[in-house]
């Protein structure tokens, strides 16, 4: 059995030997090594690039920086991957959505549902804080009432009000219902919340960008 040397991502020990106790082939000379830290005995996975004819876990000596192949510097991250979101979504709101998505990736569906609800909540408050037509107006504490009044004041189009209201009601379920919130429910709420953010922030920003280009090109008069 060979070994690798990396900083342990489990106990934090620098440049510590890990025993390679297993390997699986992933295609194109790419292997995943199952590595056990000699300090804490916890395991992590590293990608190893090796075209030899043995299973890497049968190789003696040091893998990667020693006699064979190349070893990635960073361990495979098992937890979650962070979503790329449009820059036009305000950072605070994008952060909430990302956190909700990461909860869903971790199979924490109730937490995900509650976080999507919070995303909708903060997004509607953001409109009150930034839309000039709402200066001096106090947003309702209750989310669904707030959404309804944004529709009544013609700040939001009826289709957006509907998406927001469905998302809010469903998020209430995740946050308050006794029944478990399921994977499918969390996925559906994620789509709905993304659709809402798209209509509220992404589409208007894209429209403004194209309009600005047209004005610059003389195809359109400034408003």
**Site residues (vs Zn ion, CB under 5 A):** 8, 10-11, 37, 39-40
- The least distance separating Zn ion from the CB of residue 25, rounded to whole angstroms, comes to 26
Q: Do 150 and 163 form a contact (C-beta atoms < 8 A)?
A: no
Residue 145 Cβ vs Zn ion, minimum distance, rounded to whole Å: 52
Q: Which is nearer to Zn ion, 14 or 176 (CB)?
A: 14
Cα distances from 125 to residues 47, 129, 130, 197, in angstroms, run: 45, 6, 9, 13
Closest CB to Zn ion among 37 and 167? 37
Q: How far is the CB of 44 from Zn ion (least distance, A)?
A: 8
Question: What is the smallest separation between the CB atom of 62 and Zn ion, expressed in angstroms?
Answer: 17
Contact residues for 145 (Cβ-Cβ < 8 A; gap 6+): none
Whole-angstrom Cα distance, residue 143 to residue 22? 52
Nearest-angstrom CA–CA distance, 220 and 84: 32
**Closest-CA residue to 94 (of 194, 163, 185):** 194
Between 46 and 201, name the residue whose CB sits nearer to Zn ion.
46
Q: How far is the CB of 29 from Zn ion (least distance, A)?
A: 28
Residue 75 vs 194, nearer CB to Zn ion:
75
Give Cα 113 distance to the centre of its chain.
Answer: 14
Nearer of residues 38 and 172 to Zn ion, judged by Cβ = 38
Q: Measured in Å, how far apart are the chain's first and last C-alpha atoms? A: 72
């Amino acid at each position: 059995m060979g070994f690798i040397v990396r900083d342990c991502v489990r106990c934090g020990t620098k440049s510590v030997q890990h025993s390679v106790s297993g390997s699986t082939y992933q295609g194109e000379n790419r292997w995943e090594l199952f590595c056990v830290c000699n300090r804490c005995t916890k395991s992590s996975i590293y990608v190893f690039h090796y075209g030899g004819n043995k299973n890497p876990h049968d190789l003696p000596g040091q893998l990667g920086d020693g006699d064979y192949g190349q070893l990635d510097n960073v361990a495979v991250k098992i937890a979650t991957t962070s979503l790329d979101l449009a820059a036009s979504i305000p950072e605070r709101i994008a952060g909430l959505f990302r956190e909700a998505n990461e909860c869903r990736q971790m199979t924490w569906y109730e937490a995900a549902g509650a976080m999507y609800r919070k995303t909708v909540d903060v997004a509607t408050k953001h409109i009150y804080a930034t839309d000039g037509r709402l200066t001096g107006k106090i947003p309702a504490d209750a989310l669904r009432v707030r959404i309804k009044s944004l529709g009544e004041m013609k700040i939001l189009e009826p289709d957006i009000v509907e998406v927001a209201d469905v998302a809010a009601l469903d998020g209430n379920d995740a946050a308050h219902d006794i029944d478990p919130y399921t994977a499918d429910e969390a996925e559906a709420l994620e789509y709905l919340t993304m659709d809402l953010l798209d209509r509220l922030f992404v589409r208007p920003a894209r429209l403004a960008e194209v309009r600005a280009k047209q004005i610059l090109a003389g195809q359109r008069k400034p408003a």
